[in-house]
Amino acid sequence: MIEIVNLCKAFEDHVVLDNVNLTLRDGETIVVIGRSGTGKSVLLKHIIGIMKPDSGQVVIDGQDITRLDEKELNALRLKFGMLFQGAALFDSLNVRDNVAFNLIEHTKTDDAAINKRVAECLEMVGLHGIEELRISELSGGMKKRVGLARAICMNPNIILYDEPTTGVDPIGADAINELIKELHGKLKTLAVVVTHDMVSAYKVADRIAMLYKGKIVEVGTPEEIKNTKNPVVHQFINGAATGPITED
């Protein structure tokens, strides 16, 4: 379980997170929606501890990770998988070494076992035979999927997805949605999916939370969100150009 308690973060005088409170339950897939630039990525970076809050806590299984030192954090991070918005693959390494990064750096797995695991992970994201390619040879959608393969390589308990379907064609996007659901079914992972793609949100979410002006303005099941009375959420999920969000 992850509890985000009164989380605040500002960059100089630009307040991005303003008292965010959210509880993520084990085994659920929670989708965080919100406009570009509201701080969804910043929120994810706090959950995995690569950004430090100005105040507030991120409590993972009873442990406040904002107080951990680097060694303790790193032990914890091996249970995490994170897919970055731009995939953030290492372009000095080929696909295989990217996917197997954790295995190579943090375990003593032999080459044959690594190759097998890399092939498995790539298969899961619908790719094969690209182990030796350089990152610069991949298309945008392939990068996302390789990023996903890297995130799931260590069978994490918690997976953070930053806009997994953005920049991927509709068919590829649906494959990613299916994958998120499948992983969720198989590994019973806690998944946090950040997106503004409502098709994807409805498809994968157990619950949806909306981030607006630094706060979580509504949390609920996809059904509850669809029938929301909150005008801000209503405008966002219907993609209307006029409404409270665009008025100020």
Partner 1 sequence: MDGWVSRLGKRFIAFVNYTGGVSVLFAKSIFWIFVSPPKRKQILDQMVKVGIDGLPIVFLTSMFTGIVISLQTAYQMQKISATLYIASIVALSITRELGPVLTALVIAGRTGASITAELGTMKVTEQIDALETLATNPIKYLVTPRFIALFFMLPLLTVYADIIGIFGGYMIGVFKLHIGANLYMTTTWDALKLKDIMTGLIKSFAFAMIICTIACYEGMRVEGGAEGVGGATTKAVVTSFILIIAADCLFTALFYFGFSF
Ligand X SMILES: Nc1ncnc2c1ncn2[C@@H]1O[C@H](COP(=O)(O)OP(=O)(O)O)[C@@H](O)[C@H]1O
Residues that bind partner 1 (CB under 8 A): 45, 48, 50, 70, 73-75, 77-78, 80, 82, 84-86, 88-92, 101-102, 105-106, 150
Nearest of 241, 182, 238, 248 to residue 210 by alpha carbon: 238
Nearer to partner 1, 102 or 157 (CB): 102
Stretch 42-61 residues interacting with ligand X (CB under 6 A): 42
Which one of 78-86, 124-132, 166-174, 178-186 is the stretch in contact with Mg ion (CB under 5 A)? 78-86
Nearer to partner 1, 143 or 207 (CB): 143
Identify residue 167 by its one-letter amino acid code: G
Shortest reach from residue 85's CB to partner 1, in Å: 7
Phi, psi of 38, deg, nearest 5: -85, -15
| Conformation bin of residue 76: beta by default, left when phi > 0, alpha when psi is -120 to 50 | alpha
* 77 token code pair: 């991070």
Query: Which of partner 1, Mg ion, ligand X, none has residue 69 at its interface (CB below 5 to 8 Å by kind)?
Result: none
39 binds ligand X (CB under 6 A): yes
Nearest of 86, 25, 77 to residue 47 by alpha carbon: 77
Cα-only R_g, the chain: 18
Nearer to ligand X, 11 or 90 (CB): 11
Stretch 18-37 residues interacting with ligand X (CB under 6 A): 34, 36-37
Say how many residues make up the chain: 248
Nearest residue by C-beta to Mg ion? 41
Nearest of 109, 123, 47 to residue 80 by alpha carbon: 47
CA 60 to centroid of chain Cα atoms: 16
**Residues of the shown chain interacting with Mg ion in the complex, contacts defined by CB under 5 A:** 41, 85
**Residues of the shown chain interacting with ligand X in the complex, contacts defined by CB under 6 A:** 11, 16, 34, 36-42
